[in-house]
Amino acid sequence: MELDRRDLLMALAGGTLFAATPLAPLSAAPRRDWAIVLSDLLPSNESARAVGRAYLDTEPADFDPQRLVEDLFEGQDRAEMQRLRGAVASAVRADFEAGRTVSLHGWFLSRTESQLCAMVTLLEA
């Protein structure tokens, strides 16, 4: 599955995605495109929701979905799933390296993986 980066960013930029509160706006975003990309990345949807909810419960101040996506898609003209996966894996490792971790039910997870789960959760909300 491929998605044009422009389409994706358009989708992101649309609506109130980046309004003041980080949690509400995603629901206002065009859901379809996001759900396709992200649910493909996270086929274990129930698990993504469980982790995402736990993350959102921590009321993270630094949860910025736009930046997350831009970082992951940086330098890519087209969002190939394989490359996206690679970008996520690198970001996850870089998070651990830099200590950007969150503790959910005692599990230490990278910020990127938790935030991706949070996005899925919000998109499906």
Positions in the binding site for other proteins (CB under 8 A): 41-44, 46-48, 50-51, 54, 85-86, 88-89, 92-93, 95-97, 99, 101, 103-110, 113, 116-117
CB of 15 to other proteins, least distance (A): 26
Q: Tell me how crowded residue 67 is: count the other CB atoms within 10 A of its CB.
A: 12
Phi, psi of 29 (to 5 degrees): -80, 155
Smaller CB separation from other proteins, 6 or 85: 85
CB of 16 to other proteins, least distance (A): 27
> What is the length of the chain?
125
Which of 94, 98, 97, 92 lies closest to 110 in space, CA to CA? 92
